[in-house]
Amino acid sequence: MDPALKAGLVGAVVSGAPSTVWTLLEGGDVTEGGRALGKVLLPREERTWVLLAAGAPVHGVLSLGWAYVLAAVLPERSEAVAGVVGGLGIAALDLAVLGRFFPPIAALPQGRQWADHVAFGLSVGLVLRKSRHARDRDRGEGRAGRPAAAGRA
């Protein structure tokens, strides 16, 4: 499987963990984020199942798109840390800049959303690192494309 695709799929699933845990601990509504994304597409809709059904594919596409961007720019051997920085950059764009134009997104508790973006960047970075390591191992290369030391791959 393409590493960026795999990273995007993992990131799409993992990225909601911080806000979900946070919301559960506070006794809130865990569908809030999904409903907000659905409201961006269907502003007059109120039924939760319709909003979630509308928001889920959008979340998936955005996750895959950002994963491909991160796969293109994250440096070798620094994917996890750079992924966190990338997640913060994506949050700044998604929440601080674009989110202002979408009231349902702006109304979400922002700390949770930023935490989700960090989790996305970290998970994408970790999957990319693992994929790159496996690629290098399969090629018989060590770090940064250099031949592996004898007895190591």
Q: Residue ranges per domain, the chain?
A: 3-138
pLDDT given at position 123:
98
CB 10 within 8 A of CB 68: no
Nearest-10 Cα torsion for 125, 5, 133, 140: -160
Q: What's the rounded Cα separation, in Å, for the pair 119 and 125? A: 10
What Cα–Cα distance (Å) separates residue 68 from each residue in 24, 64, 106? 31, 6, 26
pLDDT given at position 12:
97
With CA atoms as reference, report the closest residue to 54 among 43, 38, 40: 38
Q: What's the rounded Cα separation, in Å, for the pair 13 and 124? A: 11
Statement: the pTM of the whole predicted model exceeds 0.85: yes
The predicted-structure confidence for 87-115, as pLDDT tens digits, reads as follows 999 999 999 999 999 999 999 999 999 99
CB 122 within 8 A of CB 66: no
pLDDT given at position 152:
45
Residues 6 or more apart whose Cβ sits within 8 Å of residue 88: 114, 117, 118, 121
CB 130 within 8 A of CB 108: no
Written as tens digits, the pLDDT of the chain (153 aa) is: 999 999 999 999 999 999 999 999 999 999 999 999 999 999 999 999 999 999 999 999 999 999 999 999 999 999 999 999 999 999 999 999 999 999 999 999 999 999 999 999 999 999 999 999 988 888 886 655 555 554 444
Residues in the chain: 153
